[in-house]
Structures are given as structure tokens and as C-alpha cells.
Homo-oligomer: A and B are copies of this chain.
Amino acid sequence: MSTTSMRVSARRANFHDVRASNLGLIMRNVRLRGPSSRADLASVTGLNKATVSSLVTELIERRLLRESGSAFGNVGRPAVLLTVDTSYYAAIGIEVNVDYIALVAVDLDGNRLLSWRRSYTGFDVDPNRSIAAIAALTQRAMATMDVEGREVLALKVAVPGLVDAEGRVRHVRNLGWKGVDIAAALREVLGYPPYPIGVDNDANLGALAEHRFGSHAGTANLMYLTGEYDLGAGLIIGNYLHRGADGYAGEICHVPVTYEGEARQVGDVASIKSILQSLTGTNPSSVAEVEADLEEVLTRATQGDQETVHKLSAIGSSLGEALAAACDFLNPEVVILGGHYVPLAPWILPTAEKALQQRARALDATGVSVVVTSLDREVAALGAATGILNEIDAGSVPTPLGRAA
């Protein structure tokens, strides 16, 4: 057992890496602590004051921090306070689904600058039509940001399907996309804009939004279930998004469950698509039908229709069985349900929690909470924008246009 057979897995740091990660460290500290002096930052980061001054100067030049007033201490000159510069950059997140496209733009502190949602019929359309629709919405957002004097930091697109580790869309079942390079296509249609364009899975991005902005922000281990047309899970593990070896982590659909005594897979029982099919007998094929079917189910449930309430409760139970397997495996602090699960929660959450508590082996101690999202709709679009902001914390700092890098 010698060391020679081991792969060198530790990331090799070099000067550039160290500088970048220290820039990210300063940004993260200012973001989480609020207004801070250079001396505060030196104290909390353990970096020396000259280094902090140099990092702060660079971050101000890059339009990421700004000076904002002073704090008077006990002795000496008042200290200048630094805060996140929310005036210059905008991060744009877009969410494409079978029944809508949503766009969210945020400043560097996560305040919403734009929050748009438009209906859209994405069922099995030519991917070029979807790309044109995304591009049109993006151009409108770019124009608005331009008027406000803001630079677009990056654009990220959330899709309800498999995205590989390099950001290529491998498969989006209901949109009929297979092997489409959305980012490359968008770059072309948008005329090669100066900002980066990325793609990720909607559940992954939803989990990022919850981890930064949700009611359980900062929770080390959380699972987010999309509750859009198909069922997907995004996993935060140890405060990081877990993508897995090939970027496919969080595929929960195929977990075996029972439904009314029969062996099924959870995706065929408890996805929104399956819920609507089993409760209305139809197979929605346009946005109007998804929304109308959901409306009908909610009306029936609210009026106490026995069959509806019984079915929703049985579906909740199946969902809870799948959550038990997932929670035994991952032991998260919380499971957050998003999308269309939010209005359905009164009828599915109690049985889901009950099945989870009964089935999970390892939860005798503290248990896991199952909650609905506290975020507005467009969680995945917000998550896409969050993904862009997180890259700054990780040390990937932008250079404003018109300045040499």
C-alpha cells in the first residue's frame, strides 16, 4: 500500500487560482456579512491587510464591490465600508418547460430586476422554435438591461431533462430534444453576445435557488423536487450541488413504489403529468390543457370530491415511499417540493410525510422535513441566475466590457 499507486486527486493550486479563490472569498464574505471594512475582511478571512486591500481594489474596478459610507470605531479614522455593487451587472436565468418559458434577471445580491413568464407550447416542437422563443425573450431582457445601463453577466437556461457535465442537452423527453447544443444554437441566434451562455437541468438549478434564497437557505443537505410536468430532483450535498459523474444525479423517476397495492415507478404515479392523467383521464398536450386540468383537479379536491381526495392521498403516499428510499440513502435535512406540487400540497403532503416516516429506516432520531417552496414561481429560472452568481463566489470574477481583462 504505497502512495505511488494513488491518483493525484487534490486540485493543484497555483498563484492565479489562489488569487481567484481569494477574490471569491472576499465577495462571499461581503455578501453574507453585509457592509464590511477592509479590516473586518482581513480579520474574518485570515488574509493580511495588504492582500485584502489589493483584492478589494480589484473587485471595485470590476464593478463587483463598492464603497458605501463609513463606520466609526473606538479609535482612529472611520473605516470605509464595502458592500456588493448591485448597480452594474445582471444575471439572466431562463426556464423552458413544456407549457411556459420564464425569465428572471437579478442583480449581484439576488434582487429581482425582471420576472417574466409566458405561455408556450413546447410539446414536441422543433428545437429551433424553442431556441427562437428563448432568444426573443433574451433580446427583450438585454434591451431592458441596456436601457438601465446594466451589463449582462451571463445567461443560463434551465431545461427539464438530462444535461451532461459539459452542459450539452442530452435528452428532454417532452420537448422532444435529443443531443441539442442549446448554448451553441443560442449564441448563434443572439449574434455571439459577449457574455457566456450555459445550460443545466431545472431540478439542479431549483436546488441552487433554494440553497441560496429559499426558506431553508444554507441547509447543508437538501433535496428539491421540481413538480413541473415531469418529476426531477436536485441535490445539495454538503452545501454543493451534486451533479454526479456524468451530470445526471437526481433521477428519481424510476424508484419502485406501490400505488393502490400495485408495483409502479414513482415517476409514473406522482409526476404532475401522471397525476393529471390519472385524475382527469386525459393526456395534456398543450399549456392550456395542463393548466386547465390542474385547475379542475384543484376545484374537485377543494370541494371535497371523494375520488379526487382519495387518489391524491394515495399518490402522496407513493411519493413518500420514494422519498423514504431517497432519504435513507442521502439523509438530507429537508425535502422541498416546488412547481405544481405547491397548490396540490394540502392533499398529498400529509400522506407523503406519513409514508416517509413509516418507511425510512434511519429517521428514528430527528426525521426529515418535507415542505413546499417559499419562493415565487420561476424557481428554476431564479436558480439559473443563482448558478451565475455562485460562480463569482467560486472565484470566477468578470471583467466589465470596455476594460482589458
Q: Does A12 contact B (CB under 8 A)?
A: yes
Instruction: Specify which chain B residues have a CB less than 8 angstroms from the CB of A112 in the assembled complex.
Output: 1
Chain-B contact segment, one of A192-200, A243-251, A342-350: A243-251
Please give the distance in Å from A11's CB to the nearest CB on chain B.
Answer: 9
Chain A residues numbered 349-380 whose CB sits less than 8 Å from any CB in chain B: 359-366, 368
User: Known contacts A170-B365, A254-B361: does B32 contact A331 (CB below 8 Å)?
Assistant: no
One complex includes copies of this chain to the number of: 2
> When the two chains form their complex, are residues B365 and A45 in contact, meaning their CB atoms are under 8 A apart?
no
> When the two chains form their complex, are residues A9 and B218 in contact, meaning their CB atoms are under 8 A apart?
yes
Instruction: Specify which chain B residues have a CB less than 8 angstroms from the CB of A46 in the assembled complex.
Output: 13-15, 17-19
> Out of B238, B244, B324, which one reaches A330, CB within 8 Å?
B244
Give the CA-CA distance A43 to B6 in the complex, in Å.
Answer: 22
Give the CA-CA distance A325 to B250 in the complex, in Å.
Answer: 10
Q: Does A316 contact B (CB under 8 A)?
A: no
Q: Does A260 contact B (CB under 8 A)?
A: no
> Out of B12, B45, B246, which one reaches A331, CB within 8 Å?
B246
Chain A residues numbered 211-237 whose CB sits less than 8 Å from any CB in chain B: 212-213, 217-218, 220-221, 233, 235, 237
> Out of B32, B213, B246, B258, which one reaches A366, CB within 8 Å?
B246
Q: Does A328 contact B (CB under 8 A)?
A: yes
Please give the distance in Å from A315's CB to the nearest CB on chain B.
Answer: 17
Q: Does A164 contact B (CB under 8 A)?
A: yes
Chain A residues numbered 263-311 whose CB sits less than 8 Å from any CB in chain B: 263
